[in-house]
Amino acid sequence: MSDYICDELIVEIFERLPPKSLLRFTCISKSWFSRIVCPDFIRKHALRSAKNPQKVFIRHLTYFNRRVQSFYTLHPEDRLPLSSREGYIGITPHEFPGYNFHIVGSCNGILCLYDQKIRKITLWNPSIRRKLTLPHHRSLRDYSSSGLQVAIGFGFDPITDDYKIVKISYATYGRDEPESSIYTINTGIWRTIAFPTTLLINVSLACFVNGALHWLVTEQGNIGHCYIISFNLSKEVFDTIPLPEPSWESTQLTIIKGYLAVIANEGHNSWIWLRKEYNNVASWSRDLKLNTGPYEGKISKVLQLTTNGDLLLTTQCEGYIFYNHTKGVRSKLASVKGLSIILDIVTYVENLVLLNRGTICNVNQPS
């Protein structure tokens, strides 16, 4: 083909193709292999893929053939499996790397997985079935039986074109000062970084927005005082952000309409607060009220879909719910099998990131 089409046009065509097609093309010739695994091509392909409609990644857990199985399904945002298992017709389930893994971050089609039992962090790209297992870090390995808790954040630094993982280690009972360290894919090493020395008793899942990671934290001895700790991935410095008052009502950080958002529970109702001016301390504003009934319980997680702005909610009693806030209509997400449960949901976009790193992750379709 290269005898008839210029190199620039070949690259332009390749950038528009899905990862599965490109993986097959790597076997055609050495020159095509070199083009596709080139870091610059992978970066350009990822930038173009980011403009494509994202999918919803649903992780399931089931007991089948006398063993526990963890698998996932991918769905277009406008075709979610609502109310009936028929929503899974035509959807192929794929095996998840392990049921001990928890999804602690998702960025540009890469999932950051953490196995709390053996303190292992793995980056995984499901679209190309490739993974990168991070080396053990001292606090991840040596304190496995000391009651030390670990909070992990995962994001992308566009300045250095690098993915970074930040780890905060803290004692549940606040006996030790928190430690923090950072791992960058380009260097392949862990580094210790300075962290505020306040004793902490709780750190939430991280939220990545505006080039920074964010955690909702609670101080030891002052349970009613919660705030946000942020970490700028380019400058590699921590900062604090106050929450809307009363701060103790805030339960989760998320991204709504492209802004950093806080979910605050008030009785049977929940509010979404948006920080529309990131560097303005007084810029929190109430944006949306989520009415929940007495049988649903408090909302613990909110994920916004980009296609139409609808929401996926997690409630204490009802699990995962699809919520059309303009019509006030809600529907429960269905499970695949009668004994399966939905463990986690993240948005996802397919790309080639990790193609030139890590190892093949051989997982099969569940029976």
Collect contacts of 305-308 with beta carbons under 8 A, ≥24 apart. Answer: 305/56, 305/77, 305/347, 306/53, 306/54, 306/77, 306/347, 307/53, 307/76, 307/77, 307/78, 308/77, 308/78
Side-chain half-sphere exposure of 223, counting CA atoms within 13 A: 2
Model confidence pLDDT, tens digit, residues 276-290: 888 777 788 888 887
Q: What is the pLDDT of residue 130?
A: 93
Position 196 pLDDT exceeds 50:
yes
Give the pLDDT band of residue 146 (cuts 50, 70, 90). low
Give the pLDDT band of residue 363 (cuts 50, 70, 90). low
Specify which of 42-46, 200-204, 210-214 reaches the highest per-range mean pLDDT. 210-214
Q: Which has the minimum average pLDDT: 119-128, 182-191, 192-201? A: 192-201
Q: Exposure string (b/e) for 344-362, b if CB count within 10 Å is 16 or more?
A: bbbbbbbbbbbbebbeebe
Alpha-carbon distance values, 164 to 170, 172, 356 (Å): 20, 25, 17
The neighbour count for residue 174, using CB atoms within 10 Å, is: 17
Tokens of 187: 């260097």
Mean pLDDT of 102-114: 93
Any bridge partners for residue 149, and if so which? Answer: 170
Mean pLDDT of 42-46: 90
